[in-house]
Amino acid sequence: MALNLTGGDREDRPSPAASPTAPPSTPSPAAPDATVDLSRRMLTVAGRDLPISSGSVRYPTATGRMMVVTKDSVRTLSLFAGKDLQKVAWVIGLRAADGTTNFVGTLTSDEKAPGNYDVTTGWIGLRRADAVWLYKQLEPGAVIEIRGAATPTPATDLSPSATEGTVLPGGTGGTGGAATYPGRTADTPTPSVPTEPSVVAVPAG
């Protein structure tokens, strides 16, 4: 007896090829609440442009998306290349996903700097009135996106915020000797242009 192993009169046909599955789409990140354009020295929020002063080329401001994590109407910070504890008003603390932190606050030492030249060691300085307005505008959880790169300040620019411990062209700082900078040793060459106030968080007194 012969057996029909092909299923009788049914014609065997290959299964249709499976349709390619489209990869899942990655949702676009939500628009930030504020943006900082370092090259324009401008912070934009709620349709308003606020002039800023950010980190110098030697001390660049970190870029990327950061979240507002703290707000202090007054915070004790270290200014002037890691020296001189001072009370700084309207300070907004920022943190990125990788743990990088930064600050936005009032640059009272040189209110001509915002929008004109960069004098900090990475933090973002505002004029007092703008700092007060921004402090009220942004709440913890708000996202600031920092873009671009600082525009070099001319070496001949002796801004009013040149401070003790810096080396100015053709002379030395107010300490009477070589300038000192955070994280530098005696063997590390010092810059020949003014290095302006830095802000490093310290525990509030």
Domain with 68 in it: 34-170+192-201
Of 11-15, 118-122, 128-132, the one with minimum mean pLDDT is 11-15
Mean model confidence pLDDT for the chain: 72
Residue 1 in domain: no
pLDDT at position 158 is: 40
Q: Residue 17's pLDDT is what? A: 58
Q: How many domains does the chain have?
A: 1
Residue 128, pLDDT above cutoff 60? yes
Would you say residue 180 lies in a domain?
Answer: no
Q: Work out the average pLDDT over 158-173.
A: 36
Find out whether 46 and 142 touch, Cβ atoms under 8 Å.
no
> d(Cα 26, Cα 89) in Å, to the nearest integer?
40
The answer to the question of residue 9 being in a domain is: no
- Does an H or E element contain 78, and which? strand 64-79
CATH of the domain at 80: 2.40.440.10
pLDDT band at 177 (very low <50, low <70, confident <90, very high): very low
In a domain? residue 24: no
Residue 72: is its pLDDT beyond 50? yes
Long-range contacts of 162-171 (CB under 8 A, 24+ apart): 162/194, 162/196, 163/80, 163/81, 163/109, 163/196, 163/197, 164/80, 164/83, 165/80, 165/81, 165/83, 166/81, 166/194, 166/195, 166/196, 167/191, 167/192, 167/194, 167/195, 168/194, 169/193
Asked if residue 27 belongs to a domain, the reply is no
pLDDT 10s digits, 146-161: 999 877 765 434 444 4
Domain annotation covers residue 29: no
Measured at the alpha carbon of residue 196, what is the angle toward residues 193 and 200, in degrees to the nearest 5?
140
> Domain for residue 18, yes or no?
no
**DSSP at 195:** -
Q: Is the dihedral of CA 154, 45, 201, 141 positive or negative?
A: negative
Residue 179 and residue 162 in contact, taking contact as beta carbons nearer than 8 Å: no
Does pLDDT of 58 surpass 70? yes
- Highest mean pLDDT: which of 84-93, 166-175, 193-202? 84-93
Q: Which backbone phi and psi does 133 adopt, to 5 degrees? A: -65, -45
